[in-house]
């Protein structure tokens, strides 16, 4: 299992944006090189076949353009993972979740069944395709939805029709809403709107801890689910509430509370909330309100202060700094320092932070922040998704190791820095601060250029829209607005400038940490040759 997710409601974020973010982590023992691309309508398949499950899906005829972060090696399929489409809808898929035996007994996963024997011979049994999964979700959903709520509905319908072979959590956002969907067994699902004033932490564990079934099966104001979920719960005795007045808890009903969760999952939620709510409760010691192994860490909570992009990057890069569990720290001992799975782990593939800003015109409203490789040693930089192409430094990732693309350059830097953590930490921190500052300046300068191009947009401080939206439009109007060719050229040029600056600074960091680590080699001898 892999990945860590954080979702930030618009009233919890520093600027009123909705923010969804997720580390994509590869399986233990392997790397998965990633690319940042734009998928144009004529590049989107009309008939889709999964590499892993062999399921085949006919797709609608008019897809929207969207960004994605697919695998560089397509041997296991696309794995698009994270992107923003032309309707300014963002999607992140998926956070692998845990479940329990009762759920799997009631609604088993839909797994690929290979053919038995040879066709035409006695006893031959043809292959039975499996369901849809992380490989497929972004490609099957994001090009066809115009709101976050529509994203939930489309994915839910696909899950009911085709099933899935794994438990997954999927995030959707638009300028106004964030929705979080969790699969339940092979064909069932639940989804909950993230409260505007709250953030959500998700560490590979079914997370929603309170769910209004009446709303989900009725008005669907804050909750949605598969049509027969109520019957499914009752028929299989999944509701573990002691009293009828207790809210339904999906985490108890559908999730897990295993010993491995306390090593792999719950400590990550504990640390993220410890950082974002330091004054809200006691986090450390025997008298802590929540221990790293607690099963009742809230799914959503209001932060002590507004959350920034830098906060998101920090928690998703965490290795338990300031605690005995930090593998690079001096607190604790060798046992405690390797007790829990870090959030910022060696096998990170990519991080996408998708920000939808109500105070900017539709064409430059969305920003997709990107990082590649192990988060403690990389940087997060912004790119505008509503463009016709992405910079080659992030797009042209090879399957061989090279310092000429952003993915592999970060991999090399991380390996060098890990070996000399204390000696290289300052250089990494300076790199992160400098490139982050460049990113914010790039956004501000580009916003000014776009403001001169786009007419009919209210001043951000004078808008009458209750959500602070300076250009409120219906979804079809949003699509038309973001297809402004002149504006797209400005955004593409800004992306190229950002990529060029990023490469220059990343090259400098590689040079610095290579020198530092080389000086620490065990065969070093501190006397010059004669």
User: In this structure, what DSSP letter does residue 41 have?
Assistant: G
pLDDT for the residue 463: 65
pLDDT band at 461 (very low <50, low <70, confident <90, very high): low
- What is the share, in percent, of the chain residues with pLDDT greater than 90? 92
pLDDT band at 467 (very low <50, low <70, confident <90, very high): confident
pLDDT for the residue 50: 98
Q: What is the DSSP string of 160-229?
A: HHH-BSS-EEEEEE-SS-EEEEEEETTTEEEEEEPPTT-EEEE-SS-----B-HHHHTTT-SSEEE-TTH
Backbone angles phi, psi at 458, to 5 degrees: -65, 150
Say yes or no to pLDDT of 527 above 90.
no
User: Any idea how long the chain is?
Assistant: 530
- Of 44, 51, 71, the C-alpha closest to 140 is 44
Over range 104-125, report the average pLDDT: 95
Over range 457-470, report the average pLDDT: 74
Backbone angles phi, psi at 321, to 5 degrees: -55, 140
435 close to 381: Cβ distance less than 8 angstroms? yes
Catalytic residue among 3, 32, 225, 417: 3
Reported pTM: 0.97
How far, in Å, CA of 276 to CA of 187, rounded?
A: 35
Residue 213 neighbours by CB distance under 10 Å: 17
490 close to 450: Cβ distance less than 8 angstroms? yes
Over range 51-72, report the average pLDDT: 98
Backbone angles phi, psi at 56, to 5 degrees: -120, 135
How far, in Å, CA of 450 to CA of 460, rounded?
A: 14
pLDDT band at 509 (very low <50, low <70, confident <90, very high): very high
165 close to 265: Cβ distance less than 8 angstroms? no
User: In this structure, what DSSP letter does residue 375 have?
Assistant: G
Over range 508-530, report the average pLDDT: 91
How far, in Å, CA of 451 to CA of 468, rounded?
A: 17
Pick from 309-323, 412-426, 445-459: least confident: 445-459
Show the tokens assigned to 215.
């709303």
Give the residue with greater pLDDT, 468 vs 133. 133
Beta-carbon contacts of 231 under 8 Å, excluding residues fewer than 6 positions away, are none
pLDDT for the residue 4: 98
How far, in Å, CA of 372 to CA of 410, rounded?
A: 7
Tens-digit pLDDT profile for residues 239-268: 998 877 678 999 999 999 899 999 999 999
How far, in Å, CA of 59 to CA of 140, rounded?
A: 7
Say yes or no to pLDDT of 217 above 60.
yes
159 close to 146: Cβ distance less than 8 angstroms? no
pLDDT averaged over the chain? 96
pLDDT for the residue 312: 98
Over range 340-347, report the average pLDDT: 96
Show the tokens assigned to 317.
């890069």
Query: Helices in 7-121 by DSSP H: which ranges?
Result: 101-106
pLDDT band at 460 (very low <50, low <70, confident <90, very high): low
Tens-digit pLDDT profile for residues 158-214: 999 999 999 999 999 999 999 999 999 999 999 999 999 999 999 999 999 999 999
313 close to 380: Cβ distance less than 8 angstroms? yes
65 close to 85: Cβ distance less than 8 angstroms? yes
Q: Tell me the sheet residues that pair with 4.
A: 23
Say yes or no to pLDDT of 12 above 90.
yes
Give the residue with greater pLDDT, 108 vs 466. 108
Say yes or no to pLDDT of 133 above 80.
yes
Burial class (CB in 10 A: 0-12, 13-18, 19+), 362: buried
362 close to 466: Cβ distance less than 8 angstroms? no
pLDDT band at 375 (very low <50, low <70, confident <90, very high): very high
Is the bond leading into 500 cis (omega within 30 degrees of zero)?
Answer: no
Q: Which residue's structure tokens are 């593998």?
A: 327
Over range 208-232, report the average pLDDT: 97
N- to C-terminal Cα distance for the chain?
55
Tell me the domains of the chain and their CATH numbers. 4-519 (3.60.60.10)
How far, in Å, CA of 439 to CA of 45, rounded?
A: 33
3 catalytic residue (yes or no) = yes
């Amino acid at each position: 299992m892999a990945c860590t997710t954080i979702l930030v409601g618009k009233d919890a974020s520093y600027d009123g944006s909705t923010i969804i973010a997720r580390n994509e982590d590869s399986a233990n023992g392997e790397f998965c090189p990633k690319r940042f691309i734009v998928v144009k309508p004529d590049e989107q398949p009309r008939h889709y076949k999964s590499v892993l499950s062999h399921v085949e899906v006919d797709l609608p005829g008019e897809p929207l353009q969207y960004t994605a972060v697919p695998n560089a090696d397509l041997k296991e399929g696309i794995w698009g993972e994270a992107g923003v489409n032309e309707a300014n809808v963002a999607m992140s898929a998926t956070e692998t979740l845990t479940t329990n035996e009762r759920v799997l007994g009631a609604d088993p996963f839909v797994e690929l069944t290979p053919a038995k024997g040879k066709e035409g011979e006695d006893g031959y049994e043809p292959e039975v395709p499996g369901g849809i999964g992380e490989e497929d979700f972004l490609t099957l959903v994001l090009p066809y939805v115009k709101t976050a709520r529509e994203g939930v509905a489309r994915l839910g319908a696909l899950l009911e029709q085709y099933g899935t072979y794994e438990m997954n959590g999927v995030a959707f956002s638009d300028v106004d809403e964030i929705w979080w969907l969790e699969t339940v067994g092979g064909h069932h699902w639940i989804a909950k709107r993230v409260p505007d004033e709250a953030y959500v932490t998700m560490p590979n564990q079914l997370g929603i801890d309170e769910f209004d079934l009446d709303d989900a099966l009725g008005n669907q104001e804050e909750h949605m689910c598969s049509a027969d979920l109520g019957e499914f719960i009752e028929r299989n005795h999944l509701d573990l509430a002691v009293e009828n007045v207790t809210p339904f808890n999906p985490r108890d009903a559908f999730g897990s509370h295993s010993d491995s969760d306390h090593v792999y999952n719950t400590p990550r939620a504990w640390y993220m909330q410890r950082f974002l709510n330091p004054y809200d409760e006691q986090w450390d010691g025997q008298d802590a309100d929540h221990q790293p192994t607690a099963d009742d860490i809230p799914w959503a909570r209001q932060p002590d202060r507004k959350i920034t992009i830098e906060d998101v990057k920090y928690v998703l890069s965490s290795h338990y700094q300031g605690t005995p569990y930090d593998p690079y720290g001096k607190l604790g001992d060798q046992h405690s320092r390797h007790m829990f799975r870090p959030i910022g782990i060696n096998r990170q593939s990519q991080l996408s932070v998708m920000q939808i800003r109500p105070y900017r015109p539709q064409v430059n409203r969305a920003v997709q922040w990107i990082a590649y490789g192990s988060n403690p040693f990389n940087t997060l930089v912004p790119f505008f998704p509503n463009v016709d192409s992405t910079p080659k430094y992030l797009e042209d990732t090879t399957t061989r190791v090279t310092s000429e693309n952003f993915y592999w350059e970060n991999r090399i830097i991380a390996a060098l820095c890990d070996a000399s953590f204390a000696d290289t930490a300052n250089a990494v921190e300076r790199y992160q601060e400098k490139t982050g500052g460049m990113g914010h300046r790039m956004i501000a300068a580009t916003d000014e250029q776009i403001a001169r191009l786009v007419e009919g947009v209210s001043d951000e401080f004078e808008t009458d829209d209750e959500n602070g939206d300076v250009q409120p439009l219906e979804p079809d109007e949003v699509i038309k607005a973001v297809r402004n060719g002149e504006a797209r050229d400005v955004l593409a040029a800004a992306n190229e400038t950002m990529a060029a600056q990023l490469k220059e600074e990343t090259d400098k960091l590689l040079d610095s940490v290579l020198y530092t680590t080389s000086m620490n080699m065990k065969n070093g001898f501190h006397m010059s040759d004669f």
